[in-house]
Amino acid sequence: MTSREDCLARDGADSLAPLRERFTLNADEIYLDGNSLGPVSRSVASRVKEVIENQWARGLVRSWGPWMDRPLSVGERIAPLIGARPGEVLVADTLTILLAKLIGAALAQRPHRHVVITDALNFHSDLYIVEAMAKLAGRPISVKAIDRNTLADELDDDVALVMLTHVDFRSGEMLDLAGVTAQVHEAGALMLWDFAHSTGAVPLDVEGALVDFAAGCGYKYLNGGPGSPAFLYVRSAWQEFLNNPLPGWLGHARPFDFEPTFDAAPGIRKFMTSSPSIIALAALDGALDVFDDVSMNDVRRKSLALTDLFLDLVDTRLPGVFEVVTPREHARRGSQVALAHPEAYGIVQALIARGVVGDFRAPDVARFGFTPLYLRFVDVYDAVEVLVDVLASGAHQDPKFAVRNPVT
């Protein structure tokens, strides 16, 4: 069985280990919740301070000159993380709003088709917004929330759009980006991916996979902070034809001409709507500094090693206690591990009380995110030790852990 000394040795040989020093982490905690909110990095603090104390405080309204292009410049920094070309990524709004824009734009490109397919296990906000946009499409649209494993049986010449999440938020299962996209295209439909639990965690290649559209958030593995703006991707070949269904003045070709009718800006800029949150963009811009110095292939290798270690330790130390929901095959695993247990909520709360921070997802999943930029192998070992102690002591059955918090 792997020992704590073995883990310390692996940390000593880890090429990504120095990146941990770039983050502000609590010394008495093991943070396994980067898939809900990444920790703050030192670059974030310095970038936000620069915007507040110099650009805003001294430049005042004059600073809007360089600020106007910030959604584009930050998008250019995210583009390599998803395998996009220059000019294909824009940072603006929240993930749900960006999905709304892409759904509306995509449906307009398949006017004679009347079905949208999504995953019945998709994140609930994705399900809400696709239903809402279908009702606003201007023609009858049916939304089919299916078992994603039956996609091939559901595809026909009436399907306009398929919207799936690349890494399942509960289970951590990762779908075949290129394979699913090709399958959808063969049916003549368009493909929209949600990269919320993918970007910054696994290598992505939207160019190679011929992805039409995608969107992802900035506050999880990208560590952009609470309420961080999201990003959208539109393949270059589509940009001339797509219209933003939520047009606004900053997506206008000449925003300061204040024209009463909308004339879309060229390229990805047309998907801007209203004034961007400059301070939030600065935070995300600072958070992306760490990715300038790493290869996503190296991040992926360590991610798989960390999750393998966690699974091996849980199997060895707690045999039969949990159902491992996350696929064990590397090609189907994101950067998290989900363990199902009838008392999962209490287990997670007891772990947090002892300094191991994960989260709970209804109905019965204890979810742990493994972020290679700052997580150590010894952290994984120690986290499982605490998990073993919680189960052995029955700490999770304390009545105080039966009361559900507003945020789980």
Please give the positions annotated as active site: 123, 194, 219-220, 367
Contact criterion met (CB below 8 Å) for 117 and 161? yes
If we measure between CA atoms, which residue out of 208, 220, 212 comes closest to residue 167?
220
Distance in angstroms (rounded) separating the CA atoms of residues 81 and 37: 18
**Residue 193 to residues 152, 282, 295: CA-CA distances in angstroms?**
17, 26, 23
Secondary structure class of 260 (helix, strand, coil): coil
- Give strand ranges (E) for 94-225: 115-119, 142-146, 159-165, 190-194, 213-216
Contact criterion met (CB below 8 Å) for 64 and 186? no
Neighbours of 68 (CB within 10 A): 17
Q: Which amino acid is it at 53?
A: E
If we measure between CA atoms, which residue out of 322, 288, 318 comes closest to residue 386?
318
Distance in angstroms (rounded) separating the CA atoms of residues 204 and 209: 9
Gyration radius of the chain over CA positions = 22
Contact criterion met (CB below 8 Å) for 193 and 210? no
On the question of a cis peptide bond just before residue 80, with omega within 30 degrees of 0, the verdict is: no
Secondary structure class of 89 (helix, strand, coil): strand
